[in-house]
Amino acid sequence: MSNRERLGTFVLGAVAGIVTGMFFAPRSGRELRNLLADRVGEMRERSREGYFEAQERMRERFAGRAGHRVSGGNGGTTLPDEEELYERVRRTQERIRARLREDAADRDGRSG
């Protein structure tokens, strides 16, 4: 193999490596945080929609049955009211946000 062929092979390999690296390189911290924020916003919206749909189904299903007991493994439980359900969803969302912030801070600490 001549020097010219070796140089051509080297350049072709370098270009292929650069292109591959661009496609598989991890996102920057800012890009990752923006992506996570978008995903959290989407999850929040879906959970809100799911909450209201479930709330409506519960209203239709248990109309006029306040304090209705549901049989279960522990002898039955009282269905939570709307405010309690909403508060549970809100607390869960906060825990998810806190975990995402911690994970982002951990990643920033390792990359910086």
Alpha-carbon distance 88 to 57, whole Å? 18
Q: Is 10 helix (H, G, I), strand (E, B) or coil?
A: helix
Model pLDDT for residues 46-94, shown as the tens digit of each residue: 888 888 888 888 888 777 665 555 544 455 556 667 888 888 888 999 9
Chain center to CA of 8: 45
Alpha-carbon distance 59 to 50, whole Å? 14
Please state the pTM of the whole predicted model: 0.34
Model pLDDT for residues 46-59, shown as the tens digit of each residue: 888 888 888 888 88
DSSP per residue over 28-48, as a string?
Answer: PHHHHHHHHHHHHHHHHHHHH
Cβ–Cβ < 8 Å for 33, 105:
no
